[in-house]
Amino acid sequence: MEPLIRYSRTSDGFNIAHWVVGEGPTLVGMPSLPWSHIQLEWSIPAVRSWYEAISRGRRLVRYDGRGFGLSSRDAPEVSLETDVEDLVSVVDGLKLDHFDLYAGLHSGPAAIAYTARHPLRVDHLVLFCSYADGSTHRSNPLTQATRPIILQDWQFYAQVVARLLLGWTEPEAAQAFSDLVSRCTSPEFASRALEATSLFDVSDMLGNVLVPTLVL
């Protein structure tokens, strides 16, 4: 059964879609912009099994950021601060006094920034395949080779994301995730959002992250 979709509102007027499953200590799973669609993800067995597994014994919160998924799509700007603001709207809307925070890839910098600013609210931080300085990720040869495809062939780029960048190798699962990627957002927003991540830099905040942190 799919979880109930609810919405919070950012201070600058965007609706942020989120769901909550399970009971227990809260884990907030941030989306890696712009690859997130909290409703369609439940149609992929591997993703659904992952959510069901990590929500056992805890309360799992997942949301789509502005510009993708079920959240407001008309986002003119993408920045580190808008990424942080989307997280703020969800955790404040749910009145979470403290929680664990999980961030993968492009959501890592915002998670680091939030944790550095709110050390009494974040109990533990988990960073998966992420970075502090987006320019280092942008300089990766694979990133440089694939980004131009976004505006040239959106469907092919979705295949590249699913199979090459995210490593889905089983054909049926790879196709399902490719379909999800292509429906997460528009190629124009994806291009702008991913370009914006190259400007994310929280290197000077790392010393202010005082909570137990797992880097994977």
Report pLDDT digits (tens) over 105-123: 999 999 999 999 999 999 9
Distances (CA, A) of 49 to 61, 77, 139: 15, 33, 34
Q: What is the pLDDT of residue 149?
A: 92
In 3D, which of 34, 32, 30, 33 has the Cα closest to residue 18? 30
- Inter-residue contact 67 to 185 (CB < 8 Å): yes
pTM for the full model?
0.94
Residue 139: predicted pLDDT: 86
- CA torsion 21→182→101→132, rounded to 10°? 180
The predicted-structure confidence for 31-44, as pLDDT tens digits, reads as follows 988 989 999 999 88
